[in-house]
Structure 1
């Protein structure tokens, strides 16, 4: 119990270890080393960022000359926008390697991040972030078309956006009608949260992983009304996807215990039964949110093909260099 209390104290104070770094090591293969070099090139590129809230920001090729009031931009961009929903504690350089694909194609990137604490206590955390996403999109209708690209727990965050929208569907449906495609990388279901969150917070410390997993199990049993009920509702909404019928691309791995193949296949079957076109890329052996690191060319080829089918590839030569 002392170890568990200490673990939660670390989360609350933000003293947590970062996710596994996607850098080369003595055991790195050629693809991983090449990809690390590409990441460094991306970090050197020029881009601007515009903070909306502590959880939301816009990343753009252009300088954003705008003021913001109540989440409304005075001069909103009139261009495609990808809503990027990274995994917990994602490093900046890892976010940028995905953002750069969309920036190269003329998109702006709405980057949305949340903390482990916000996931543990959704009423004061993730749900408030979801409200801000919905309000921002509603008040800035020129940001279109929209594409979703979510990783891991980002699927849960987006589900909370849909939960909020369903409270007044007539009002919010026009936002979802602007979404023309969705990409889900290692999406995590509620059943896997006790595995995923400990590994995200303490990727290199198995003792702390076990301690946090024990606390998560306690948390789910004890805080049903303020946590578990909301996880289950969000999971139901993700699988039924009542607001979006646009094409989807899933990235999964046979060896990922967090965003498991089984859970993602269940979502795929549900969505296809609703008439949603689903592209499903399953890798043989890659870690959670590590598919691009392990298989960069295959990952990028799938993403390029998908975005091209949506009619949003403006500069194909910038993608083909990486294939």
Structure 2
């Protein structure tokens, strides 16, 4: 399946957030609020650790072709290790952006690996003022999770992301992370655990598509099955695809046509990109 080439503009909002649109973005930005809105649906694309821009652009292109804006979000290994000075700051920026923009529009989550943890940190902040952020929660019509990694897999996933071809350094960093989590409970580990709990209980009750494989040690099948069961017990409709063999965050690359088929059907089922009035008519 080939994506048509389209021109786009990219607006760097912070070091971790960039908005990409088919429209030329000439808007002034004040405290992450765009003065001019495009009126399109917005996709939050939460990347995996150390993801290259060219890899994320495949997903950006997919959503641009569906007439969406895309907010590209990333975190660094340092921000992951020190959440109070890292991921929680990024999470606050994400929440501020959502609170100020796309007021009457649809939003969709599409997260990879540690993107699940970052989004959980956003939900921790929303949960602290749930009435205040109900309009933000209500914007979301769907969520897609690809190789979602739980806190238990940090010592497995982070070393592979930082040193993909160096087993000796992977082992050394894994040992350090285990030490880090034992030693820095107040500024790191307890926040990972709280975020993991929040991801399992999930404030966002819209339908979810989960992509995993049985051979992925980072986005592990067992932890994703627990998430699936927890969400279904809360009434969330979960679309679930588990491949027999596929690498971490490599399901699209390994099973492209099947991946896109499931994703297309999911977006069609949730009527993503369809206006509220059209969705209401479809239910009648």
TM-score category, normalised to shorter length: over 0.9
Instruction: Give the equivalent residue in structure 2 for 1:54.
Output: 15
CA distance in 1 between counterparts of 2:161 and 2:21 reads 28
Q: Aligned to 2:213, which of 253, 258, 264? A: 253
SS in 1 for 2:240: strand
Instruction: Give the equivalent residue in structure 1 for 2:152.
Output: 191
Matched, 1:299 2:264: no
Instruction: Give the equivalent residue in structure 1 for 2:178.
Output: 217
SS in 2 for 1:93: helix
CA distance in 2 between counterparts of 1:270 and 1:46 reads 41
Shift of 1:204: 0.7
RMSD between aligned residues: 1.4
Tell me, yes or no, if the aligned pair for 1:81 and 1:143 is still in contact at 8 Å: no
CA distance in 1 between counterparts of 2:210 and 2:24 reads 32
Matches within 5 A, 1:166-181: 166-181=127-142
Instruction: Give the equivalent residue in structure 2 for 1:17.
Output: none
Instruction: Give the equivalent residue in structure 1 for 2:163.
Output: 202
Instruction: Give the equivalent residue in structure 2 for 1:114.
Output: 75
TM-score for the superposition, normalised by structure 2: 0.94
TM-score for the superposition, normalised by structure 1: 0.83
SS in 2 for 1:62: coil
SS in 1 for 2:132: helix
Tell me, yes or no, if the aligned pair for 2:106 and 2:272 is still in contact at 8 Å: no
Instruction: Give the equivalent residue in structure 1 for 2:84.
Output: 123
Tell me, yes or no, if the aligned pair for 1:240 and 1:270 is still in contact at 8 Å: yes
Instruction: Give the equivalent residue in structure 2 for 1:273.
Output: 233
Distance change in 2, residues 1:122/1:174 (3 Å): same
Give the unaligned 5+ runs of structure 2.
275-284
CA distance in 2 between counterparts of 1:156 and 1:103 reads 25
Q: Aligned to 2:126, which of 152, 160, 165? A: 165
Shift of 1:184: 0.1
Tell me, yes or no, if the aligned pair for 1:121 and 1:227 is still in contact at 8 Å: yes
Matches within 5 A, 1:53-132: 53-132=14-93
After TM superposition, the structure 1 stretch with the greater mean CA deviation from structure 2, 261-270 or 139-148, is 139-148
CA distance in 2 between counterparts of 1:49 and 1:141 reads 17
Shift of 1:225: 0.4
Deviations 1:43-62 (A, max 9, x none): x6421101111111101111
Tell me, yes or no, if the aligned pair for 1:56 and 1:112 is still in contact at 8 Å: yes
Greater than 3 Å deviation, 4+ residue runs: none
Shift of 1:77: 2.1
